[in-house]
Amino acid sequence: MIDRLSALLGPAHVLTGKDAEAYGWDWGHGYFAQPLAVVRPASTAEVSAVVRLADETGTPVIPLSGRTGLAGGGQGEGALVISLERMNRIREIRPGARSAVVEAGVVLARLHEAVGEHDLIFPLMFGARGSAMIGGCLATNAGGSNVLRYGNTRDLVLGIEAVLPNGEVVDLLQDLHKNNSGYDLRHLLIGSEGTLGIITAAVVRLRPQPGAYATAMLGMDSLAPALGLLNRVQQATGGAVEAFEYMPGSYIADYLALHPEGRAPFEQSHPVNILIEIGALAPRDCTPGPDGVVPIAGYLEEVLGEMLEAGEITDAVIAGTGAQRAALWAIREAASEIAAQRHPMSILDVAVPLDRVGDFLTRADDVLASLDPGAGTSVVAHLGDGNVHYTIFPSSKDPMEKDRLVEAIEDVVADLRGAFSAEHGVGTHKLNTMARRKDPGALTAMRAIKAALDPKGIMNPGKLLPPQ
């Protein structure tokens, strides 16, 4: 097998033993599996040749991009890891069509920089953008902080190129906004976590670069007025809110403990802290007036002033410079770093209706306190889209006890008609949850699709779908 792979790609791009070890770890070093080998193809044709060999020999295949996943979706003991890191070309940027053709190994931040030269953005934004790759973003249907305005990854993709489990290449790299020609294989493969094939390239949507941003941190006594605030700002700005992020006071304290060089957003701590950002496109909203105030910032200041007078918010600070804006975002983007300081932990990545986030947090805290009074939490939320990252730190290292706590929080999510996975994916971390919570009919349909496209079960086995 190794000899044949070396003949296909060259020995320098087939790693084994110690050389392959680094590819067996995930970002948090919570999952490890020793690969049979790691191959690094440089083209779709090479990916196809490797997958054909795997299909011929019945060898399990693990597609891998930037290794920033949080759900254990990129490991497989004795499996063949296909790293897409060398498939890192931005094939084309089409400013007129506001689209780009990119390969799976392109690092997200590099794409941001490249399209920025054309005054455009690819509006997928999260803390790991400096190492996360496009292929992994598509495989997990990644979310992030700008979903409120631009949608998930699935909403930002017009076409894909993929290699199916038998090695066949599917070329759907069409720059089309309308295409009603049968089943949408693009959306089937996006979010499938590499279990149905390997996405090798994509046509992605680009958006205009906002001409000005207004960014603020709000201090509040409760979450109750938050949704009303969001709706008011959306109306005042014509739907220009890009991010609406929640952090409790305990999270701010954890950030400052980890980063003593950091600066607290307020002189006094608040139970509820919300980071809001607006991006303006129209010149009338971006051009400073005679007083030097950018209109979009003026709109935000006006609404916040009204809410301060009404007692709906307690405090507010508006970023006046790019450095101040970056400092506010640094607090929010430290979430994974903060959570990784304590073990054992279990990251619940849930979604609930927008008007039930407060209910979820109250009920989840009550349930956790009743079952494990010594447990801790770290919580942040994409409040504008109902996605809550509720990380539990159980007082016991017993895996069964951790699973009991997770199941109890899942009960709260289910009662609120929410979802147990919002943007991190299922991987291996949520297989038990998938078996418990996913609609049985939906699981049956998913297994039928998997069996049809991957009858030998070689493509990222043991992920996403729980065993029957």
pLDDT band at 28 (very low <50, low <70, confident <90, very high): low
369-412: pLDDT as tens digits: 999 999 999 999 999 999 999 999 999 999 999 999 999 999 99
For 12, other C-beta atoms within 10 Å of its C-beta total 8
pLDDT of residue 32: 84
SS3 351: strand
Q: Residues 109, 90: contact at Cβ < 8 Å?
A: no
**Predicted confidence (pLDDT) per residue in 136-151, tens digit:** 999 999 999 999 999 9
For the chain, give the percent of residues with pLDDT over 70: 99
So what's the pLDDT on residue 113?
A: 98
Contacts of 464 (CB under 8 A, 6+ apart): 73, 192, 193, 195, 425, 426, 427, 431, 434, 446
Confidence (pLDDT) at 432: 92
What confidence category does residue 291 fall into, taking pLDDT thresholds of 50, 70 and 90?
confident
Instruction: Determine the 3-state secondary structure of 62 from DSSP.
Output: strand
* Pairing mode, strands 99-103 and 198-205: antiparallel
Give the residue among 142, 117, 122 at the shortest CA–CA distance from 132. Answer: 142
Burial of 463 (0-12, 13-18, 19+ CB in 10 A): buried
Q: Which helix or strand (DSSP H or E) is residue 137 part of? A: helix 134-140
Q: Which two tokens stand for residue 181?
A: 């020609």
**Strand pairing of 198-205 and 157-163?**
antiparallel
The CB density around residue 429, as the number of other CB atoms within 10 Å, is: 24
Check if 212-335 and 342-427 are the same fold: yes
Q: What is the DSSP letter of 154?
A: G
Strands (DSSP E) along 29-156, which ranges? 37-39, 61-64, 80-83, 90-94, 99-103, 120-121
Fold of 212-335: Alpha-Beta Plaits (3.30.70)
Domain segments of the chain: what residues?
Answer: 90-208, 212-335, 342-427
State whether the Cα torsion 310-315-320-323 is positive or negative.
negative
Q: Are 220 and 274 in contact (CB under 8 A)?
A: yes
Mean pLDDT of 299-310: 92
Compute the half-sphere exposure of residue 290: CA atoms within 13 Å on the CB side of its CA. Answer: 0
The whole-number average pLDDT for the span 256-268 is 94
Q: How far apart are the first and last CA of the chain?
A: 31
> What's the length of the chain?
468
What does the block give as tokens for 346?
């279990």
Buried b / exposed e across 361-393, counting CB within 10 Å, b at 16+? bebbbeebeeebeebebbbbbbbbbbbbbbbbb
Contact 420, 433 (CB under 8 A): yes
pLDDT above 90: residue 340: no
CATH number belonging to the domain at 342-427, selected among 3.30.70.2740, 3.40.50.300, 1.10.10.60, 3.30.540.10: 3.30.70.2740
Over range 81-91, report the average pLDDT: 98
pLDDT of 29 strictly over 70:
no
Distance CA 428, CA 69 (A): 11
CA distances from 185 to 99, 199, 425, 444, 463 (A): 20, 11, 19, 19, 20
Strands (E), 305-452: 315-318, 346-351, 376-382, 387-393
Instruction: Tokens for 173, please give them.
Output: 């790299």
Give the single-character DSSP code of 107.
B
- pLDDT, tens only, 190-235: 999 999 999 999 999 999 999 999 999 999 999 999 999 999 999 8
| Block residue for tokens 């997770």 | 406
Establish how many alpha carbons lie within 13 A of residue 357's alpha carbon, considering only the half-sphere containing its beta carbon.
Answer: 29
Average pLDDT, the chain: 95
pLDDT at 35: 94
Architecture of domain 90-208: 2-Layer Sandwich (3.30)
Sign of CA dihedral 126, 129, 130, 131: positive
Distance CA 391, CA 379 (A): 6
